[in-house]
Amino acid sequence: MSSEKPVSPLSAKELSEQQSEASTEPDMSSDIMGEKESMISTIMQEVYGVWSVENVASHQFPKPLPKREAGEGILEQRRYLWTDAFGVLNYVTLARLACDAPARRAAYLASAHALIVSVHTTLGNERVETTGWFPMTKADHGDALKPMFQYKGLRIGKLHAREMSDTGMKYDGMYWHYLDTWLFALARYATESKDDTVLQQANMLIHDVHPAFFRPRAGMLWKVNVDLSPIAGGEYAVNMDDTLGAWLVYNIVAIAAGHRPGIVQVSKEIDETGRVLDDNFMTLRTREPTWDPLSFGMQAWKLQWLGPWADAMRDTFYSGSNITNSLSALDVSKGMQLPFRLYCGLLGAKLSGNDILTHHAEKVLDEITPKAMSELVGASEHSAINKVTFAAALEPLAFARQASTEDLLKLPTQYLTA
């Protein structure tokens, strides 16, 4: 195991910057917030605790996730990449909702930054285990990105680990669909806070993990080991949804980074994934959709970014009789068996741009809100992801494409005319 000693996630300089940004004690009382801001803020405090410079310095913020929901890392933290990606995005949403309250807005962005640092420090380092050593691949990014990027990639944060992970969901490793959600969260936070350092981290993360996940002419693997090596039996387990997600998020990160000096660009990665999508264009646009609520929600999130070339894909969800199938994905009686899956479906419905789906999602949210708000963190094995996905469904501002500044993405495919 690495002999390097973990250091505090935040340097004195960073603590000083956060103190300056949120120097005025924000009024977090619910009576001065809008209803959605109040509800989401309450949820986030339940999951992560109350942000303050002192709490960050003493490692009391963010609170570790419950013991049965994430494996232990350094500094006695427990982080889970997908859960915390939603957490960062919810803080960005809160910052936007508090646009007329500078102190609260600064506190929300500082909360997001502290969570990002904690995730990079915990999941970007090797596991703390008494039963074995699970080495990650060393990175060489210089001192500027330490201690958060001593290794390449970010672990999932599973409870269980073994040297060779599985192709399923039990053992720790790296999931592509978690990494792309995290990259999106970094891009959203960096844009909202104008944080070029986090943009640099997003770009370096792409450079570090893309070669391990990408298979030329095939696409992105869905899972690899924590050292970025292929999993036995999963060497060719590519997923076109993950390839589309990679291409999409690479573009979003590139748009956020622009041509800022000192930030490595990801044009090569965009080109490689785009070529695979181009080769599989007809299959991509004519495939049958799935009516699992989580899959539906994540598809709807992706579709909002895609140009007219994806109209056939949209039709399979939103046109004619297909609306009935989409509505069936949001069935409460089935969805509440695993609430986070339903909440992601509702989030997607609100991003769909379809009035029928949006109205139905609001109706379902009204129905389930009392139960969702009353769930206690730690009361079930999915309590934290339930809470943060419900918060995102309430108001998915950070997930939505900003039509005024973010153009629809074009796919340079041979099947399109000029």
Q: Could you state, in order of their start, the residue ranges of all structural domains in the chain?
A: 12-123, 158-279, 291-400
Range 302-330 burial, b when 16+ CB lie within 10 A, else e: bbbbbeebbeebbebbbeeeeeeebbebb
Gyration radius of the chain over CA positions: 21
**Model pTM score:** 0.91
Per residue in 11-49, pLDDT (tens digit) is: 434 444 544 455 455 666 555 679 999 999 999 999 999
Buried-exposed string 19-43: b where 16+ CB fall within 10 A, e elsewhere:
eebbeeebebeeeebeeebbbbbbb
From CA 95, how far away is CA 257, in angstroms rounded? 20
Distance CA 362, CA 344 (A): 13
pLDDT reported for residue 78? 96
pLDDT < 50 stretches in the chain: 1-16, 18-20, 23, 417-418
Nearest residue to 82 via CA among 350, 369, 340: 340
Quick check: 55 and 63 in contact, CB under 8 A?
no
DSSP state of 169: S
Name which of 237, 248, 186, 241 is nearest 213 in CA terms.
237
Q: Are 206 and 266 in contact (CB under 8 A)?
A: yes
- pLDDT tens across 265-299, in order? 899 999 999 999 999 888 887 777 778 999 999 99
Angle at which helices 35-48 and 355-374 pack, to 10 degrees? 50
In tens, the pLDDT along 332-366 reads: 988 888 999 999 999 999 999 999 999 999 999 99
Query: DSSP letters of 303-360?
Result: HTTB-GGGHHHHHHHHSTTHHHHHHHTT-HHHHTTSHHHHHHHHHHHHHS--HHHHHH
